[in-house]
Each structure stands twice: as C-alpha cells, then as structure tokens.
Amino acid sequence: MKSKEIELWESIPEYEDYEVSSFGRIKSWKNYSSPKLLRPWIDSSGYSNIYLRKEVEVRVNHSVHKLVAQAFVPNPKKHSHVTHIDGDRSNNQPSNLLWIGKLKNKYKVLLKELMDKYKLDEEDVVKIKELL
C-alpha cells in the first residue's frame, strides 16, 4: 500500500502572518480568522512567485521554490541559489530542491539555454560536461 505524504507547514521568517508548506503552497493569516491559501503566479521563466506583505503598502515578490527550500531543505554550505533537481520549475516539493552556489546555477542556466537552442540530447550534454 502506498503511503500518503503529510503536508507540513512552517512559518516564513520575517513574515509572521504567512506559512509555506512542504507541497509548495502558501497561506496567509493576515486579516483572516482562518488561513487563506494564496494563488501564486508564474513568471516569464516558469517559476511560481508570490507577493508577501510586511506592511499594507509594501509587497515583496518571492519565488515559491526558494521559500520551500528555506523552510524544508538544509543549507549547510549557505548557498544562495535553489535549483529544481528534475528541471520541472512547477515541482516545488522539498525532495526536488537543492541549494547550489551562484556559479553552478549560472552553469545550469547556460546548459539549459544551449539544450533549448541547439536541441541537445543527453549524450551531447555528457560530452560537453566531459570537456569542462
């Protein structure tokens, strides 16, 4: 029998009225007696984003995958970037997220651009990695 995953919730640091879940969902307690699930929007790069408010007039954009990683993915080396292991930017589960350094993130972005532009297959990617 397949076990069901349990959705865990953690408070978002610096935003006391918001929580992030291990399923990549965000809820707000701000101005509500019970929590309200917020609807993220997808940016031009395919990442889920959400606006959080500290003050009524000030809203700050946050990447959902980074909020999930901050809450559920250990970051012992204090890396600044989060990547999706399977390449699916809509899969914001903690098991699919990995903290990486800025240089490695740039490498991944460049490699993806090359794959998209030149239609590289996995064998081509392996050859390119061997050259590096």
Map out the domains of the chain as residue ranges: 9-100, 101-132
Contact 81, 69 (CB under 8 A): no
Cα(63)–Cα(71) distance, integer angstroms: 13
CATH architecture, domain 9-100: Alpha-Beta Complex (3.90)
Which tokens in the block code for residue 68?
Answer: 């999930």
1 token code pair: 């029998």
Q: What is the pTM of this model?
A: 0.76
Going residue by residue through the chain, which has 132 residues, state the pLDDT in tens, using 9 for 90 and above: 445 789 999 999 999 899 999 999 999 988 778 899 999 999 998 999 999 998 777 889 999 999 999 999 999 889 888 988 888 999 999 999 989 876 665 656 556 655 666 676 778 777 777 776
